Amino acid sequence: MKKTFQILLIGSLSILFAEVFSGASQTWFINGWGLLLTFPLYLAHVLFVLWIALKFKKTSLSQLYIFGMIFALYESWITKVLWVGYMDSTGPGLGTFLGIGIPEFPILTFFWHPIMSFILPILVFEILAGKTIKDHEKVLRKTTNKSTIIIVFLILISTFIANGNQFNIISSNASLIGTLIIVFGLYNLSKNANLKEFEFKKISFIMISIYLVLLYIITFIFLLPERIPQTIMPYATIIIFYIFLVFLTIKSKSKEILFLNLDNTHYSAKNLITFALITIFAVNVACLSPSISLMLLMITYFVLALVGTIIFTLIIYRILKNKFKQIKM
């Protein structure tokens, strides 16, 4: 039973950072669509790519980032956002390039899903578990500069939450606080959790894979069929990107996974509670000042798209550089 709570915990963390923080999902936990589609979608993707990362011992943050980009490409087949823009838009914000939306592709594929949907849930899970993969230990070490960056980021993200809830203070609080209660409730039921336990038996992985394949096919055909691209270019671009990501994954080096216990020099559950309270406060302020919030949201959105593109470029460079070094040796 404890393993079930751990599974639900990492799924809840993914939907918290990906959907609630973006404002895309409000009170998903009392919404049929949220419970039957959104939550299983995020949970299955996390379990799928995390299993592969653990199984093939590719768990560095760079490697997890690549898996997170594979995660992100569901936005092509299910929501079709990478091709035709967000649900409430009439098309891609700045047009398309090679059939994909600008800036939807860089913000979602290079930043939001790799980091918010996948890496952050894993890191926070490790903090709550009190155990971390050795390669993650440094990023979980507590510093003043790091805490400042986190707080500034949470303040900026609060504008996304407020905007997604139409600056309704009741809806914003219900969405955020409700999800946080679920997360901390599952945390209390998942004592002595360990990321290693997500390396399931092959039969479980096969079942998750079948679910995802069926989800992709059914939603592609029946969910917003009018958003399905009518030309070959969008499909070609996304498929080539898949191939490129698989290539990067294969070329990246496998490494034995070692787990370390976190101590008082690292972030803890108490620190996470502090960050949660800051986020709640910031969301309420954002709801009371919609004009300022919208301005901050727009700036943050494009900055994150740029940051994601830089991260993507640096990771490609690092992986290929390390591979060339191995060849020369």
Please enumerate in sequence order all residues whose Cβ is within 8 A of that of 180, keeping only pairs 6 or more positions apart, or say none: 16, 276, 280
User: Which residues are paired to 96 by β-bridges?
Assistant: 101
Measured in whole angstroms, the distance separating CA 19 from the mean position of its chain's CA atoms is: 9
Q: Is the dihedral of CA 106, 164, 118, 235 positive or negative?
A: negative
Domain containing 164: what range? 2-328
Residue type present at position 309: T
What is residue 319's predicted lDDT score, i.e. its pLDDT? 81
Q: Which two tokens stand for residue 310?
A: 């830089």
Nearest to 308 by CA among 82, 113, 70: 113
What domain count does the chain have?
1
Q: What pLDDT is recorded for position 117? A: 98
Q: Which two tokens stand for residue 208?
A: 């998750």
Contact status, residue 213 vs residue 74, Cβ threshold 8 Å: no
Helices (H), the chain: 2-15, 32-33, 39-55, 61-72, 74-77, 81-84, 104-105, 120-129, 144-164, 169-188, 202-222, 232-251, 269-288, 290-328
Q: Tens place of pLDDT for every residue, the chain, 329 residues?
A: 778 999 999 999 999 999 999 999 989 999 999 999 999 999 999 999 999 999 999 999 999 999 999 999 999 999 999 999 898 777 787 888 999 999 899 999 999 999 999 999 999 999 999 999 999 999 999 999 999 999 999 999 999 999 999 999 999 999 999 999 999 999 999 888 889 889 989 999 999 999 999 999 999 999 999 999 999 999 999 999 999 999 999 988 899 999 999 999 999 999 999 999 999 999 999 999 999 999 999 999 999 999 999 999 999 888 877 766 655 55
